[in-house]
Amino acid sequence: EVLAVNIAESNIAVQSFVNKHELTFPILLDKDRQVLNAYGVGPLPTTFMINPEGEVIDITSGTLTERMIRDYMEQIKP
């Protein structure tokens, strides 16, 4: 499952980005930075890989390449 968390952007800006890139996964809004603070996120973007038990198994700071995304998907494929 892919979830995105947007930090402090307006609903209009997020929806415009979703439409432009034809995204189909949920994008949660963290306008008051509660999620950012709870996970101790520093630089953005940051990607968390979380296993089915809810444990964080990997954190990547910075932009992911298409190859990195494919490799992550292979790791979690059933």
- Could you tell me which of 71, 16, 22, 68 has the C-alpha nearest to residue 45? 68
Q: With contact defined as beta carbons under 8 Å apart, do 5 and 31 qualify?
A: no
pLDDT number for residue 25: 93
Question: pLDDT per position in the chain (78 positions), as tens?
Answer: 888 999 988 999 999 999 999 999 999 999 899 989 988 888 899 998 888 888 888 899 999 999 998 888 887 777
Q: Where are the domains of the chain?
A: 1-41, 42-78
pLDDT number for residue 76: 74
